[in-house]
Amino acid sequence: MNEQCAKCGGACCKVLIIPARDHAEREWIEGRAIMMTDSQAVIESRCRHLSEDGRCLVQDNKPLYCKLAEVNDAICKLCMVAKGNALTKSPDSAKTS
């Protein structure tokens, strides 16, 4: 695990990012999301493969989505902001689309 992820404690493994583009999607998500951007919502959801000390227990077989994740990419920043892990200054800078 790299240093930044170790400090972060796995913010991206504790949330789900789902679309919130139109009125119907946003209405359904209202009250469930811990953060919303113009097009996405972040919901608390801890991955069952995340260990108590913040390690991925399926490192060699983790999903493609996780394999593609990169420190400081837009999803990383969005997760960090949503979890309150200071990395970026505001949710606006974490928008992914």
Binding site for ligand SF4 (CB under 6 A): 4-5, 8, 10-13, 47, 49-50, 56, 58, 62-63, 66, 69, 71, 76, 79-80
Q: Using the minimum distance from each CB to ligand SF4, give the nearer residue, 26 or 69.
A: 69
d(CA 10, CA 21): 26
Q: How far is the CB of 68 from ligand SF4 (least distance, A)?
A: 11
Q: Using the minimum distance from each CB to ligand SF4, give the nearer residue, 39 or 88.
A: 88
Beta bridge pairs of residue 18: 41
For residue 76, the one-letter residue type is C
Characterise 72 by phi-psi region: left (phi > 0), alpha (psi -120 to 50), beta (else): left
Q: How far is the CB of 83 from ligand SF4 (least distance, A)?
A: 8
Q: How far is the CB of 3 from ligand SF4 (least distance, A)?
A: 9
Q: Using the minimum distance from each CB to ligand SF4, give the nearer residue, 10 or 33.
A: 10
d(CA 22, CA 61): 34
Q: Within its chain, how far is the Cα of 77 from the centroid?
A: 8
